[in-house]
Amino acid sequence: MTARPGSSRPHPDRRLADRCRNRNRKPAPRPFADWAVRNIAAFR
């Protein structure tokens, strides 16, 4: 890849990938928390 003026700004592809990764990562904590709560309750 050749360095071009303005290449330091984030590419739309990278932003789109970031948004997809954020969308995919966001709903994860709640199901995992539910599973962890159920798991801990079962082991308790």
pLDDT tens string 1-44: 566 665 556 556 666 556 555 565 555 566 777 877 888 888 76
Instruction: Look at the chain and report how many structural domains it folds into.
Output: 1
Assigned domain for 29 exists: yes
Assigned domain for 1 exists: no
Burial 11-41 (b: 16+ CB within 10 A, else e): eeeeeeeeeeeeeeeeeeeeeeeeeeeeeee
Assigned domain for 38 exists: yes
Structural domain containing residue 29: 13-43
Assigned domain for 18 exists: yes
Whole-model pTM above 0.75?
A: no
